[in-house]
Amino acid sequence: MGRLLGQGTFAKVYFGKNLSTQECVAVKVILKDLVKKEGLMEQIKREISVMRLVRHPHVVELKEVMATKAKVFFVMEYVKGGELFAKVAKGKLKEDLARKYFQQLISAVDFCHSRGVYHRDLKPENLLLDENEDLKVSDFGLSALPEQIWNDGLLHTRCGTPAYVAPEVLRKKGYDGAKSDIWSCGVILFVLLAGFLPFQDENVMKMYRKIFKAEFEFPPWISPDARKLISRILVTDPEKRITVSEIMRNPWFQKGFCKPVAVSIDEKLTVENAKNSSPPFYNAFEFISSMSTGFDLSGLFENKRKSGSMFTSRCSSSAIMGKLETLAEKLNFGVCAKEFKLKMLGKEEGRKGKLVVTAEVFEVAPEVAVVEFSKSAGDTLEYKKFYEEEVRPALKDIVWTWQGEDNCQCN
């Protein structure tokens, strides 16, 4: 980790670099004691869950989560262009540039909503720009998942930044997360084109009254087509507000629009030849941490430890990969393999979609490998049943020891 990039109430963000690949990253460091003291552990867990769900070209990518006794580390994509807010603070943007950012924002929001994720704090400060001047949505700390929806089908937590918050959120009567995000997108579009907020007043209550009435005025330089679109977004009745799909069909929005392709774990990837490559190296500390119950760090994110999700083997890495591919085919799972990482893609729909299991082989020493299994998609209970009843029995002939088990069996 290198220089400090920024800091908030509970976290600091540092520039970082992967020493083996030279990839630049941003590392968000959170103090566990402070988070626990403030009762924000659930929020941290939710942020992790959300960022794993939303892999999209215009969403900041969460690459890895690590933890020590005192800290949690989010390793994220490094977006070096800074906040969109800094660009807007200098004044209004040209219409074509504002449209480009709005298209990228709506594409990301549409993808998040398709995964049941509602951001709830969309504003220029949470929109970053990369080296290609493309937009990346960040900061999912206030986001909501379907399990937070009440029996009335609505969310009830008041959150967000007042100037960008939808009127129904301020009214405390419950709101639709997707529709409130759309309102915030409308405010952002106005700001990009106008150079100032549609609803602003030194008196907060007066500002709220303007929001409740959708009381704002367009500056003369905003084009008629852009005005029509904004007027359909900033509608106080969420039932009459334009939807994401309607925005994406709007003629003003459509100009020059090319929908980005989101990363999908169901995509059929090319199986690459890995004869001349070696598996990633697993250092001694990682090995001890993951295989020893005493060093396990998963308790921060899970109520119960997932036993047996990792094993050691004295077989060669290529032999292990061959065994895993054979197992997947035998169970009628699709296979996507890249170097020493393999995805097993279920073909049947489960409770939460198709089950996707990832297995990765790491090298500890010339004669010892670690194989780590994890659920990439699908239902957790279905994954556990699959792992215990299918995977463990099928791999017993290549296993030296299972995670958390003291008795080694050399076969």
What whole-number distance in Å separates Cα of residue 293 and Cα of residue 132? 45
Return the bridge partners of 6, or none. Answer: 13
pLDDT of residue 105: 95
pLDDT of residue 31: 86
Residue 161 makes CB contacts below 8 A (sequence gap 6+) with 121, 123, 125
pLDDT of residue 284: 47
Three-state DSSP state, 88: helix
Q: Considering the entire predicted model, what is its pTM?
A: 0.64
Active site residues: 121
Q: Which conformational region is residue 39 in: left (phi greater than 0), alpha (psi within -120 to 50 degrees), or beta? A: left
Return the bridge partners of 311, or none. Answer: 371, 402
pLDDT of residue 156: 56
Residue 411 makes CB contacts below 8 A (sequence gap 6+) with 396, 397, 398, 399, 400
Tokens for 32, please give them.
């566990």
> Residue 242 to residues 228, 230, 278, 369, 392: CA-CA distances in angstroms?
11, 10, 52, 54, 51
pLDDT of residue 365: 66
pLDDT of residue 325: 87
Q: What is the pLDDT of residues 65-85, one digit of tens each?
A: 888 888 889 899 999 888 898
Give the up-direction half-sphere exposure of residue 402: CA atoms within 13 A in the CB hemisphere: 13
What whole-number distance in Å separates Cα of residue 265 and Cα of residue 267? 5
**319 and 371 Cβ atoms separated by less than 8 Å:** no
Full set of structural domains in the chain with CATH: 4-77 (3.30.200.20), 84-254 (1.10.510.10), 284-402 (3.30.310.80)
pLDDT < 50: residue spans in the chain: 264-276, 284-308, 406-411
pLDDT of residue 135: 94
pLDDT of residue 368: 80
